[in-house]
Structure 1
Amino acid sequence: MRRLLVGSSAFLMLTGMVLVLPVYAAPAPAATPVEPSIAGVELGSVDRPRDDAVVTADGAVVDAGPDADVAEGAAVLPADPSPQDPVAASGEELDGVPALTVSRPDTEPFSAIGVTWSEDESVVGVQVQVRTKNAEGAWGEWQTLEQDDVELSEDGPSGAVRGGTDPLWTGPSRGVEVIVQAVDGSEPRDVQLELIDPGSSPADDVPGAPTITDTAHAAMTMPAIYSRAQWGADEGLMTWGPEYAPTLKAATIHHTADSNDYAAADVPAIMRSIYAYHAVSRAWGDIGYNVIVDKFGRAWEGRSGGLASTVIAAHAGGFNTSTFGISLLGNYELVTPSAAMIETAAAVAAWKLSLHGVDPKGTTVLTSSGGGTSKYPAGRAVTLPTIFGHRDVGATACPGKHVYSRLGDIRDLAAAKVASEGPAEAVAAPVPAQTMLRNDNVGGVAQWTTDRGVPGDVPLACDWDGSGNETIGLFRRGRFLLFDSNATAAPASADFFFGDPGDVPLCGDWDGDGKDTVGLWRKGVFFLKNSNTSGRADGSFGYGNVDAQPLVGNWDGDPFDTVAVFQAGAVYYTNSNLVPLAAGVTPFGDRTDVAVAGDWSGSGKDSIGVFRNGTFYFANSLIRTRGDLTVHFGDRGDRPLVADWDGNDTTTVGISRGY
C-alpha cells in the first residue's frame, strides 16, 4: 500500500504517451533529453603515434602513425593541407619538446573539443594547442588548453577515468588541428582527441523560467537555477550514482576555461558538451561541477543528486568532499566576469552555505585526499576560506585571475545576502509541525497527533518496512526522512537524498515486494525508486499535464502500485509504470480540490477522493462520479494525508498542519 500527500501546487507539461489532457495555452518548446555524439581521434603517444598522428620536434617530423602520409624527417607542411593527406598540425610548437600532432581539416560536425589521456599522476605538465575550422570553412586562431586540475575522490566512480584538458566550446565546426606537448618531460599515453556534437533542441533558444525552486520556506531564498532537464541532460550517460558527504563546509569557485564568445541560446548545448566530456570522455559518469553560471547571470544545475544535498562532485582534486563547486562559464584568465555573473555566483554560494550554517566570510578546515594535481598530500588538514578559489588547493590558474581577484567581492555579497535574509531555517530551532490522524472515516477529533518535522517539510505516508502499518515520512528539500513508527520520539529509519527542492514526493510499492519506496514528480515526469536509498531512479516516464496533481494507487488490485494524475476535476490513472497508458478517466471533484487516493472500503482496490476546506469526499469506485462518503476532519488550509494507519487494510483520514 502507499499514500502520498499532494499538498504542493501541481502543474506541469504534457508529456504523456497516449494520455491527452486539456491544454489551456500554447506551450513553448518542451525541453527533452538530447543525446550527444562523441568522435574520438586516437593519437597514441610520442613514442608510438596512432593512425594519422605525427610526432615532430623543433619543426621536423620524427615519427608518424601508420596512416600518416608523410616521410620520417620531413618538414612540417603548411596550414590547410588536403583531407587526403593528413600531416602535422601547422601551429608553433614549444622548442625542444616533442609534439604529438594531428591535422583533420575535414571532419564530421562538432561544437566542442577536448584532449584526454590515460590517467597518470606523474603527467602534470601537458599543454595542448588547438584551432578549428568553422562551418563556413574558415580556420580560427590557435588556442591553448591547459591540463585540467581535477581528480575524483575515493567516492567517485571506479573504472578507467582519464586525465585531460578542460573542454573547449568551438561552436559549429568541421575541421581541427591539435598539438600536444608535455612541458615537464612526462609522456601522456593513449592520447585521444574528443570531438563533441552536443545535438540541438528547439528548447535551447527559449529555456523558459528556471524550474528548480526551494519550497521549504527557509529564510534564505534559493536563487533561480535551470534544471538538468531544461538543458537537455541525457540521464543515460550518467554512470556515477550520487555519493554524499556528511556535511558541507565550503564553496569552491571555478571557471570552465572555455570560450567567452557564446550566445544565450548556446548555453544548453555547452552544458551538454561539458556533460558528455566529463561523463564519457573523462569517464567520470557525470558532470563535474555542482552549478555553472553563465555570463548572463543564469545558473544551471550540474552534478546530479540534489542541489540542496551534500552530493560529492568532481571539481577540485583532493577537495571534492564537503565542498560545492560553482563554475563560471568562460575563461576568466582572459576577460573580466560580468556583474550579473558575480552576483549570481554569490547568491548561489550564500544560499548553499546557509543550509549548513556556514559563514560566507569565515574559514574552515578541510582534509586533502591527495592526488597528483593537489597542492596538498593526502591527510593534510588545510585552513581555507569558506568561499575559496580552485587555485588555492590545486596546481591551476582556475578560476582565472579576473575572477580570483573578485573572490572578496563574492564573499561580501554572499554575507550581505545572508544578513539581509537571515540564516536558513535548518540553522534555527523551528517549532515542529503536526500531523493529526484517525483510524476511521467518521470525523471528529484526532485520535493520534505526531509532532514531527519543521515548516517547509512535505509529509507523506507509506508502509516503509512491510509491516502493514503505514507511517509518516518527510521530504526536506531533496532529502527523505522515513519513520517506521508514528510516535513523535521515534528515530528515522532511513535518511537519504533523492530529488531536488521543488519536487513533489510520493511513494508506493513499485515492484510488488510488499515494501513501499519513494518516488518524485517533477514537471510532468515521474521518477521511481525500488529502494529507500540515495542514487538514481530505477524508472522514469512522462505522464501528466500543466496543472495536474500526481497520485499513486493500486487501481486494479494487483501487487503493484501505479500512478495517476488529477486535473480539472478528473483522475487519469494507469495500471502500468512500464508502459504508462491511461487505463481510465474518472470525473470527481472540482479543479481547485486537493486529490487523494486510497482504499476507503477495504475492497483491495484504491479509488479517488478530494479534500476541500476541511472536508474529505471519497468515492469507493473509479467508475463512480458521485461521492460515497463525506468526512469532516481538519480546517481550511490544512494538508490532507491519508493512509492505513492501523494495518486493517482500510485507508483513513489524516491532516498535516504547520508545514
Structure 2
Amino acid sequence: MRRVLAGFLAFTAITATLLILPVYAAPSPTPKPVEASIDSVALGSATAPEGEAVVTTDGEVVAAGELAPVTPEPSAAPPPVEPAPPAAMPSTPTAPTSAEQPAPASSGDEVPGVPALTVSRPETDVFSTVGVTWSLDGPVSGVTAQVRVKDKSGKWGRWSDLEMEDAAAVPAADGSLPAGGRGGTAPYWTGDAYGIELVLQTADGSTPQDVQLELIDPGTSPADSAPGKPTARDQAQAGMYMPGIYSRAQWGADERLRTWAPEYAPTLKAATIHHTADRNTYTREQVPEILRATFAYHAVSLKWGDIGYNVLVDKFGRAWEGRYGGLASTVIGAHAGGFNTGTFGVSMMGNYDVVEPPRVMLDAVAHVIAWKLSLYRVSPHGTTTLTSSGGGTAKYATGVSVNLPTIFGHRDVGSTACPGRYAFARMSYIRSTVAAMQSNIGLYEPAEVWTRSADQSVTRVHRGNPGDVPLTCDWDGDGRDTVGLFRRGQFILFDSNSPTAPITAAFYYGNPTDIPLCGDWDGDGDDTVAVWRGGQFFLRNANSSGVSSTYFAFGNPTDAPLAGDWDGDGADSPAVHRDSYFFWTNSDQQGVTDGYRSFGLSGDRPVTGDWDGDGADNLGVARAGVFYLADRTAGQPYDYLYYGNITDNPVAGDWDDAGTDEIGVSRGY
C-alpha cells in the first residue's frame, strides 16, 4: 500500500541536466555468439613432464626431477638389411616424418643454468591466441614464458615473451578462490598460426605444476568486419553522454562460457589502466576475434568465469564491453590482483611497452573513464584509499591500505610492467583529458533517497549506486516502508532506512532490463516484488527467486507501470500511466480496467500513495520540484507540495508507521 514508480528512469523526459542515456543501433550483419575452440595441451612440470614436453637446460635435454633420472630404453637390434647393389644411385633425402621427435625448443635467450619446461609442436590445428596456465596449489613467481609460432607457409616467427597474468579471480566471501582456479600468463594474440614452440622457466626456482599450453581458435563471424554502431547501453543519469561502446553481443561473446555470477562493490573509487601485452599488428576485423579469445582464456582456461577487464579499447579508438554485469554499475572485475573491488579496469589492446599508444586510443580511454567516474563523483585529479586483498601480482599484502590516484596504472599496485612504459608515461594526459571532458558537466549527486515524514522531518537514505533502481515498500509488514534496490535482475532488500541497515534479502527475479515494482499482491500484509516487461506484469508473492505467482498483460509496452490498493480491500494490484492518464485494475489475475482518470500533464512523473489514510491509494504527479496529489475521483481538489530538485524522481511511502503515505525523492540513480 506504499507505492513508488520504481522504473520511472526508463522513460523520464530530459529536463535540465538529467539525461537518460541509451545508446543503440542495429548492426548489420547481425552479430551472433561465436563458439571458440580451445586445445589444452598437458605439459606436466619441470620435475615430471608429460606428453611432448621435455626439460632442457641451456637448450640441452636433461633428466627431469631430482629423483627421476631419465634412462634411455635399450632399442631392439635392427633387422638385417640386404646391401644395396653397387650401382645404386644415392637416394634423395626425405623430409622427417611426423613420428620423428623435433629438436627441443630453444629461444637462445633462456635463463642460464635454470631448467626449462619446453615443447615443440611444428604442426597444429590453426589457432590465433596462446597462453600458459598452471595450478595454484603452490606459490609460483618469476615465471618467464617465451613462444614462437609458425605461419601457414611453414615459416617460424620471432620469439615473444608472455607477461604473467594476475591471479586476479575474485575470491569468494570466505576469501577462497573459485574451485580449480589457475595461474598463468596473459593471453597472447598471434594471428593465424599452425605450429608453436614454448620455453617456460622460473627465476626463483619454484616449479609450476600441472602446466597446460592453451591454443585458442576464436572462430570468425561476418559481423567481425562490420560491427555497425555501438549498441551497449546502460541506463544512467549523466551530464555527459555515455560514449559509444560495442556490446558483448557485437563481438560475438558466447555467454555459455560465462560461469561467474556478477558481484558488486559498494561504490566506485578509481579507474585502473592496463594493456593486453600482445601484438600491435592486429586489423580492425581481428578485434572481435581477439576479444573472444581473451574471453575464452580468462573464463575457461584460467577458470575466472568471465573476461577480466570492464572495458577494452582498440588502437582504432573503439571501446568494447568486457565484464558482464553493467557498464554503469560497480561490478567487480578481475584485472588488478588485490585491487579489483571499487575499481574499473580499462585495457588498451596491444603492447605499449614497445610502442606509443595512438592518440585516438588514449582519447577513447579518457572518454570512457570520464563518463564512468562522473557517475560516482570521482575527480580525475584526486586520490583515494584502497585496501589490498592480496594475491596475484599485488605489491601489497592483504589488509594494507594504499593511497592512490583515482586514475592509476596497474603497475602502481602490481609487480608488472602493465600498462607498458609508453602508456604509463601518458597517465597525465589521460587524467587531463578526463578532467576537460568533465569540466562542463559538474559531477553527480550521490545515489540516495530523501524522505519527508508527516511531521516534516527529513531522512536521507544513501543506498545503492548509479544504475540501480530504488523502490520503496513494507518488506516485513511492520508498517514502515524502506528503500530497496533493483540491480540488473537482482532485488536487494532492507528492513530499515538506517545507513547501517544490513541486507535482509538479495535474490534474482526477472531480467536485467525489466522494470521493478512491489506491492502486497495477496493481502497478507507484506509487500513482495514484481516486474513489468513489454506490457506484462509478473507478480510474485514471495521475496525470493522463483516463478511468478501470476502474470497478465495490462497496458501498452511504452506505459509507466505502477501499483496500489485501488479499492481499499487490503491487496495491491497494477496500474499504468500514459501521457496524462492513469489506468488501474483491481485484480491481480487479469488485465481488466476498473478505473481511469486524467490528472496532470503529459511528461509529468507519476507517483501513487494513500495520502489520506483511508486504506486506498490515490494518484500524484511530480513536476519540476512540485508534487501534485489527488484523489482517484475526477473533479476533486488536489494538494501541492514543494519538495526536491527539478531533476529528482518522486517516491512515496509510510516512513514512520503513521498510517498515511508521505512523499520523497530519489536522485543520482
**Partner of residue 351 from structure 1, selected from 348, 351, 371:** 371
Q: Is the 8 A contact 1:52 1:102 kept in 2?
A: yes
Q: Is the 8 A contact 1:505 1:518 kept in 2?
A: no
Residues 557-615 of structure 1 show CA distances to partners (whole Å, capped at 9, x for unaligned) of: x9799xxxxxxxxxxxxx9889x9xx9989x76x8655668997899999986533221
Q: Is the 8 A contact 2:377 2:444 kept in 1?
A: yes
The corresponding residue for 1:638 is 604
How far apart in 1 are the matches of 2:243 and 2:400?
A: 34
Q: Is the 8 A contact 1:309 1:478 kept in 2?
A: no
Shift of residue 164, structure 1, vs aligned partner:
0.9
How far apart in 1 are the matches of 2:214 and 2:121?
A: 12
**Partner of residue 194 from structure 1, selected from 214, 219, 223:** 214
**Partner of residue 289 from structure 2, selected from 269, 275, 279:** 269
SS of 1:630 mapped into structure 2: strand
Q: Report the CA distance shift for 1:315/1:173 in structure 2 as closer, same or farther (over 3 A).
A: same
Amino acid at match of 1:402: Y
The corresponding residue for 1:61 is 61
The corresponding residue for 1:222 is 242
2:581 matches 1:615: yes
The corresponding residue for 1:92 is 107
The corresponding residue for 2:142 is 125
Amino acid at match of 1:60: E
**Partner of residue 312 from structure 2, selected from 292, 315, 339:** 292
Q: Is the 8 A contact 1:4 1:552 kept in 2?
A: no
The corresponding residue for 2:51 is 51
Q: Report the CA distance shift for 1:313/1:8 in structure 2 as closer, same or farther (over 3 A).
A: closer
Residues 303-360 of structure 1 show CA distances to partners (whole Å, capped at 9, x for unaligned) of: 3333333333222233333332221111111221111211122223333333333321
The corresponding residue for 1:568 is none
**Partner of residue 391 from structure 2, selected from 371, 385, 402:** 371
How far apart in 2 are the matches of 1:608 and 1:380?
A: 51
Residues 239-265 of structure 1 show CA distances to partners (whole Å, capped at 9, x for unaligned) of: 333333344332221111122222223
SS of 1:312 mapped into structure 2: coil
Aligned pairs for 1:318-397 within 5 A: 318-371=338-391, 373-397=393-417
Amino acid at match of 1:630: Y
**Partner of residue 552 from structure 1, selected from 526, 537, 546:** 537
How far apart in 1 are the matches of 2:253 and 2:531?
A: 18
The corresponding residue for 1:37 is 37
2:162 matches 1:162: no
Shift of residue 49, structure 1, vs aligned partner:
0.8
Normalized against structure 1, the TM-score is what? 0.71
Amino acid at match of 1:377: A
Q: Is the 8 A contact 2:309 2:323 kept in 1?
A: yes
How far apart in 2 are the matches of 1:477 and 1:219?
A: 22
SS of 1:111 mapped into structure 2: strand
The corresponding residue for 2:446 is 426
SS of 1:244 mapped into structure 2: coil
Which stretch of structure 1 is more off in the superposition, 642-651 or 264-273? 642-651
Residues 380-409 of structure 1 show CA distances to partners (whole Å, capped at 9, x for unaligned) of: 333322222112222211111110110111
Q: Is the 8 A contact 1:278 1:286 kept in 2?
A: yes
Q: Report the CA distance shift for 1:422/1:62 in structure 2 as closer, same or farther (over 3 A).
A: same
2:333 matches 1:313: yes
Q: Report the CA distance shift for 1:195/1:653 in structure 2 as closer, same or farther (over 3 A).
A: farther
The corresponding residue for 1:506 is 516
Amino acid at match of 1:614: S
Amino acid at match of 1:92: S
Q: Report the CA distance shift for 1:413/1:137 in structure 2 as closer, same or farther (over 3 A).
A: same
How far apart in 2 are the matches of 1:466 and 1:227?
A: 41
Shift of residue 276, structure 1, vs aligned partner:
1.8
2:195 matches 1:210: no
Normalized against structure 2, the TM-score is what? 0.70
Q: Is the 8 A contact 2:238 2:444 kept in 1?
A: yes
Residues 48-86 of structure 1 show CA distances to partners (whole Å, capped at 9, x for unaligned) of: 110111222223222589xxxx9799xxxxxx9654335
2:88 matches 1:103: no
Q: Report the CA distance shift for 1:246/1:576 in structure 2 as closer, same or farther (over 3 A).
A: closer
Which stretch of structure 1 is more off in the superposition, 598-607 or 251-260? 598-607
Shift of residue 44, structure 1, vs aligned partner:
0.9
Q: Report the CA distance shift for 1:64/1:411 in structure 2 as closer, same or farther (over 3 A).
A: same
Q: Report the CA distance shift for 1:167/1:628 in structure 2 as closer, same or farther (over 3 A).
A: same
Shift of residue 293, structure 1, vs aligned partner:
1.5
How far apart in 2 are the matches of 1:30 and 1:236?
A: 19
How far apart in 2 are the matches of 1:643 and 1:85?
A: 82
Aligned pairs for 1:428-467 within 5 A: 458=469, 460=471, 464-465=475-476
Q: Is the 8 A contact 1:33 1:234 kept in 2?
A: yes
How far apart in 1 are the matches of 2:330 and 2:436?
A: 23
**Partner of residue 244 from structure 1, selected from 264, 271, 274:** 264
Shift of residue 497, structure 1, vs aligned partner:
11
How far apart in 1 are the matches of 2:507 and 2:327?
A: 10
The corresponding residue for 1:259 is 279
Q: Report the CA distance shift for 1:230/1:493 in structure 2 as closer, same or farther (over 3 A).
A: farther
**Partner of residue 158 from structure 2, selected from 138, 141, 158:** 141
Identity level (%):
53
How far apart in 1 are the matches of 2:499 and 2:168?
A: 41
The corresponding residue for 1:533 is none
Which stretch of structure 1 is more off in the superposition, 458-467 or 33-42? 458-467
The corresponding residue for 2:193 is 173
Q: Which has the larger radius of gyration?
A: 2
Q: Report the CA distance shift for 1:505/1:186 in structure 2 as closer, same or farther (over 3 A).
A: same
How far apart in 2 are the matches of 1:175 and 1:196?
A: 12
Which stretch of structure 1 is more off in the superposition, 345-354 or 134-143? 134-143
Amino acid at match of 1:58: D
Q: Report the CA distance shift for 1:103/1:71 in structure 2 as closer, same or farther (over 3 A).
A: farther
Shift of residue 456, structure 1, vs aligned partner:
8.7
How far apart in 2 are the matches of 1:217 and 1:401?
A: 36
Q: Is the 8 A contact 1:435 1:655 kept in 2?
A: no
Q: Is the 8 A contact 2:271 2:343 kept in 1?
A: yes
Amino acid at match of 1:241: A
Residues 191-232 of structure 1 show CA distances to partners (whole Å, capped at 9, x for unaligned) of: 110112323444433333333445433335433333334333
Amino acid at match of 1:144: D
Q: Report the CA distance shift for 1:627/1:45 in structure 2 as closer, same or farther (over 3 A).
A: closer
How far apart in 1 are the matches of 2:420 and 2:185?
A: 15
Q: Is the 8 A contact 2:235 2:328 kept in 1?
A: no
SS of 1:251 mapped into structure 2: strand
How far apart in 2 are the matches of 1:230 and 1:608?
A: 36
The corresponding residue for 2:299 is 279
2:133 matches 1:116: yes
Equivalent residues, number: 574
How far apart in 1 are the matches of 2:127 and 2:46?
A: 26
Shift of residue 516, structure 1, vs aligned partner:
7.5
Aligned pairs for 1:499-578 within 5 A: 503-506=513-516, 549=534, 551-553=536-538
Amino acid at match of 1:298: R
How far apart in 2 are the matches of 1:640 and 1:631?
A: 13
Q: Report the CA distance shift for 1:594/1:120 in structure 2 as closer, same or farther (over 3 A).
A: closer
